[in-house]
Amino acid sequence: MKSISNIIATAALGLALAATVSSCEGHKELVIYEGELPIKTSTLYMVGDATPGGWSLDVATPLTPGEDDVLIFGWEGQLRAGEVKLCLSNASWDVPFIRPLTNGTEISSTDITDAAFAIHAGDPDDKWKVTEAGKYRLTFNLRNHTMSTAYLGGPDAPVIVPIEAENVYIVGDATPNGWNIDQAYEMTKESQYIFAYEGVLKAGELKATTDRSKGWDVEFIRPTSEGVEIGRNGVAADDFEYTMAPDNKWKVTETGKYRLVFDLENWKVSAEYLGEAEPEEPEQPEVPAGTPIETETLFIIGDATPGGWSMDDATAFTADASNKYLFTWEGTLNTGSMKACTVRDGTFSCPFLRPATDGVAISAEGVAEPGFIYTAGDPDNKWNVTEAGTYRITFDLEHYTITVVKSGSEEPEQPEDPEQPKDELMAATTFHIIGDATPGGWSMDNLTALTATAEKPHVFSWTGELKTGSMKACVASDGTFSCPFARPATDGVTISAAGVAEPGFIYTAGDPDNKWNVTEAGTYTITFDLENRTISAVKVG
């Protein structure tokens, strides 16, 4: 027997034993019950987006016990299209629920008579499916475990009472502030009942609330059916309802500028497409490529991180005591994606530290590409943690690099330079670039010299014209081309207005003869840091 019936059955067994003793004394017959035992309860509730209270247990819809039989419960009212199940108590989701024998059993204008139901907690989470909105009479017989429905007619027109509100806020991924209810975007009050928004709506969903301070468990302004479209032709249906459930939302089909108006007196919505959206300017200026990122805080966020995608729970890094640009964190990462930011910005409009290409892998082998970029907006590139575990992550905000070490893994080794040790590279007093992208081409006699920085003699810079083409760098002229060269770890790493796709470099002679690829001609400032083996490029203007 299922959970609640087990309790009843145990009690019944005790009564049966008592009856057995009595029959022995008084020569009475033993009465044996077969089949389902009655479900004893004084309360019964239904929940679901088809019901008046939606999926909230706090406002679950009660059924009424019968006058002639208190184990036959009934209810009469309007059901929306959606799902429904029943429970004996609205105190917890862990209690047994009354459900259909088959998930998705339809409730419609075709009446149901004495259909058997099941009762159990947990999975499978079977529910009835109301396919036709309307007025119904529902009957649940807990004595014989059956249910019946009677369709009484179509739904009543909603009673429209003007909504008195000081503010209306729109929320959703189509709106400026996304699904952050605390930052739901405030509309403009144009008159007592008219509220308007004029600006960009993204492709996505939205609904509206009159009070963003109470969270999600309030009535929302929403369409009368799910997914009513807003697009170039306006809104597909102009009616709205003001209710907690079902959780219907408008669907913006095309990003653009719109004028969205809610009439709280007549429960009407209008939408006018005003044209294509202009490119968004980031709210915080982006740091030019190669410029050290000045910050006292750094956080990672994402479903791979301990705090998930919550800005309030973004995971904080610790700044290095001797180098303000180095930030480190050690802890557990899940499989999933992540990026980093310098502030806990609930609007998600701040610049993020992210890989130059989406999905760069983090695993026991470290990070697939050590460079990162620092940008707001799209493309929303993220690192992809492919192996869960404990990691130590370090961001270098001066040289735009990230290093990752998984516990139990070996520290990442620096590239070996058998031809010239690192201390010899650090001792260099000259440094040059060569290639068809440079002013001197591939001539060793016309190397383009960089200038050492006074404060940091191991940092060399040059500003000048680069053509589209390839380049690498060397300490001094060698007509044989057999000397070691500074070059990217993989061939064809791009240099463009976006900077250098991968900021690290190696210093080797021979093959593979990797080179940087300048994809946009123009005036650049090129900087090589021989100590940290990084290159940065900033396109002037």
Q: Which of 109-113, 137-141, 438-442, 506-510 has the least mean pLDDT? A: 506-510
pTM listed for this prediction:
0.40
Segment 433-437 mean pLDDT:
93
Residue 410 clears pLDDT 90, i.e. is over it = no
Token reading at 266? 């007549």
CA distances from 355 to 20, 30, 339 (A): 78, 78, 8
DSSP labels for 209-250? ES-GGGTTSS-EEEESSTTEEEETTEES--BEEEESSS---E
Secondary element (H or E) of residue 423: helix 422-426
In sequence order, the 6+-apart residues with CB closer than 8 A to the CB of 17 are none
| Beta strands 469-474 and 459-466, pairing class | unpaired
pLDDT tens-digit profile of 64-79?
999 999 999 999 999 9
Q: What is the mean pLDDT of residues 194-200?
A: 96
Predicted pLDDT at 10: 43
Q: What are the residues whose beta carbons fall under 8 Å from the beta carbon of 360, sequence distance 6 or more?
A: 367, 368, 369, 381, 383, 384
The mean pLDDT value of the chain amounts to 85
pLDDT of residue 279: 62
**pLDDT: which is higher, 412 or 516:** 516
Question: What is the per-residue pLDDT across 477-505, written as a single tens digit (0 to 9) for each?
Answer: 777 788 888 888 888 889 988 888 888 88
pLDDT at 142 over 90: yes
Is there a cis peptide before residue 415, judged by omega within 30 degrees of 0? no
Pairing of strands 432-434, 64-65: unpaired
Mean pLDDT of 120-124: 91
Q: What percent of the chain has pLDDT over 70?
A: 88
pLDDT band, residue 113 (cuts 50/70/90): very high
Calculate mean pLDDT across residues 452-457: 82
pLDDT at 100: 97
pLDDT confidence of residue 413: 45
Q: Are 540 and 524 in contact (CB under 8 A)?
A: yes
Query: Mean pLDDT over residues 522-534, rounded?
Result: 88
Indicate whether 17 pLDDT > 50.
Answer: no
Q: What is the mean pLDDT of residues 503-521?
A: 87
Q: What is the pLDDT, as a whole number, of residue 412?
A: 43
Mean pLDDT on 148-166: 89
Q: State which H helix or E strand residue 64 sits in.
A: strand 64-65
Q: Which two tokens stand for residue 76?
A: 């009469």
Mean pLDDT of 343-357: 85
The pLDDT of residue 411: 42
